[in-house]
Structure 1
Amino acid sequence: KGDCATIGQQIAHEHGYRYVRQIFDGFCEIEEDPLSKNHKRYRRAIEQGIDPVKILLEHEHVEWAESQIPKKRQKREFIFNDPQWNSMWYLMRHLQMPTVPDLNVTGAWEMGYTGRGQVVTFLDDGLEFDHPDLLENYDKEASTDINDNDDDPTPRYEPTNENKHGTRCAGEVAAKVNNNICGVGIAYHARVGGIRMLDGDVTDSVEARSLSHRPDHVQIYSASWGPDDNGLVVDGPGRLAKKAFQDGVLHGRGGKGSIFVWASGNGGRYSDSCACDGYITSIYTV
């Protein structure tokens, strides 16, 4: 009651406390002060088994008082029940060995960056969108089938299971967490689509149609393919694909520009240079 700071200081002095701060209007914090000349009053109450809080409550200006007791609080880190999570060292190695670096993805997650509100589509051999790790994040509007000219990106199933690449790429990005299945996506709240375009003849037209699918809706286009990585091939996008890149970065994503992400390739064992890949060296790709 009354001016908190002034009265708080008065009460603290009278009872052997030290005034610390005003927390809210009408709420002040005081603490034991061994140097106060009135500290004996505080100690005497303790020795007599009297709760100092009760003494404070008897003061005409005090309506509420409570001893502040430390509470146990535990930092909530990312522990998922997905069986492959503990093997994903590149995402969470610092949780096991704090001095060893990783991608620092958990740091981004702690800040709230989990892919929520983002739409990523994968230009590949198809997308098994009904997979339990992907179904919840599947975005039909970000999907199509260029190879068969329909809207279903489901891969063509055959005995060698060759057409699994696109589904795996999508899982790396947006696999659902805490469902006891497989691993954890790096942006596990992102919406994902699939553009089936690698399971057939890949022409400049096919690439252009894939790169320009729904630029008003898709924000990120991910492609993990390119010319042969054998150290002998130099190739890149044709005229139509270049046009798709240009239109995307100028007009896609609501005028902010589509984001095209490209894999650097697997040619290291052949001394292949990704600088010979026109998709990777394009000014329009990341």
Structure 2
Amino acid sequence: MAGEAELTPTGYIQHHLQNLTFKVGEGGFWTLHLDTLITAVLLGLVMVFLFWLATRKATAGVPGKWQAFVEIVLEFIDKQAKDAYHGSSKLVTPIAITLFCWILLMNGLKLVPADFIAKPLEWVGVHYWKPVPTADVNATLGMSISVFFLMIFFALRAKGLGGFIHELFTAPFGKWMFPANLLLNFVELLSKPVSLAMRLFGNMYGGEIVFLLIWMLGGAGIFGALAGGAFGLGWMLFHLLVIPLQAFIFMMLSIVYLSLMEEHH
């Protein structure tokens, strides 16, 4: 069935956007996207390993090339986090580093042609594998929900439970407008993780579809192959900017949200 679907452009795109799923519970009440989970965890381990390589032979003198590169990246993220966050938490920079580097690696899989991953997996019996975790809304929502819980934690730590609840009912219109305050604050709170998730997902998912459309040109003869190569190169060069930019935006908005949650109104 998969081979037949790939004969048409629509079938080819749908095939590569189909997740490898595993259903849990009666009637598949809970469906896990195994490709997203496995790829995200593996890239997280790769990130840890790369940082470990930089620290394994770290020196206070003249650093090696990889150590120097990692130090530049970490110093850049640390500066951006401190500029956006006005509190005193020591957790903010590690959170920023984790978000940026992990999302950067997941986004970076977009530069690998889908067939380079899918075809070898088909040889071992895996017919569906969506390679880019951030092109799966479940992954971006998972990260944004984690940021949401961090927002609540930072707010409770800075204001206490009583102060946090008091602001929900009294800001910004005063205590006599508490129904409007509560509604407005809940909408504001919930919109932040949703916007974080959908912004990253939309950019990565849309880019993935365009890449697949370009790759389809390769099957349209010699001129199609040349056009596909030219358009693919241009789109790839464009995504050399989009990939780190989207990771940076997700990281910076997360830090800004954490900072806002500690402010007293």
State TM-score, norm by structure 2: 0.22
Which structure shows the higher strand fraction? Answer: 1
State TM-score, norm by structure 1: 0.21
Point out which structure has higher relative CO (alpha carbons under 8 A, 6+ apart): 2
Which structure shows the higher helix fraction? Answer: 2
Give 1 or 2 for the bigger CA radius of gyration. 1
